[in-house]
């Protein structure tokens, strides 16, 4: 969790008191107390009950860059070996995803297992 100084907006640093010998610093806290202090100004905040902040992670929604199932509706078939099931026939389409001077990318979708892969 990042906490910022309300006075000068710099990042607050965590200090532990002298009772915790493994992480103590010169002049850090008193009697094992923990505090947040600003390195730029004299602001300090003594942590009494702990500092907690819960942030629920949300899954990112991923857009189908190929256009979903509708994009595969009117495409042609070709002979290509599926890397998943080794079937020898797949749908394909070509899309320009890089700059104009780069070759087009070929996207495949297996006729049997519907696995999608790309070449180029």
Residue 86 counted as an annotated binding residue: no
Residue 82 counted as an annotated binding residue: yes
Residue 85 counted as an annotated binding residue: yes
85 in Cβ contact with 112 (< 8 Å):
yes
Residue 115 counted as an annotated binding residue: no
41 in Cβ contact with 50 (< 8 Å):
no
Residue 31 counted as an annotated binding residue: no
Residue 61 counted as an annotated binding residue: no
Residue 73 counted as an annotated binding residue: no
Q: Give the Cα separation of 50 and 61 in Å (integer).
A: 34
**Tokens 């070996």 identify what position?**
81
Q: What residues are designated binding site for Zn(2+)? A: 5, 8, 38, 41, 82, 85, 110, 113
Residues placed in the known binding site = 5, 8, 38, 41, 82, 85, 110, 113
């Amino acid at each position: 969790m990042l906490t910022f100084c309300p006075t000068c907006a710099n990042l607050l640093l965590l200090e532990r008191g002298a009772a915790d010998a493994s992480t103590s610093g010169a002049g850090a806290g008193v009697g094992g107390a923990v505090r947040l202090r600003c390195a730029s100004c004299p602001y300090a905040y003594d942590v009494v009950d702990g500092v907690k902040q819960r942030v629920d992670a949300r899954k990112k929604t991923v857009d189908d860059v190929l256009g979903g199932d509708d994009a595969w509706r009117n495409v042609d078939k070709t002979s290509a070996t599926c890397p998943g099931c080794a079937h020898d026939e797949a749908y394909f389409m070509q899309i320009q995803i890089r700059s104009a001077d780069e070759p087009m990318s070929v996207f495949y979708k297996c006729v049997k297992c519907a696995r999608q892969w790309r070449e180029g």
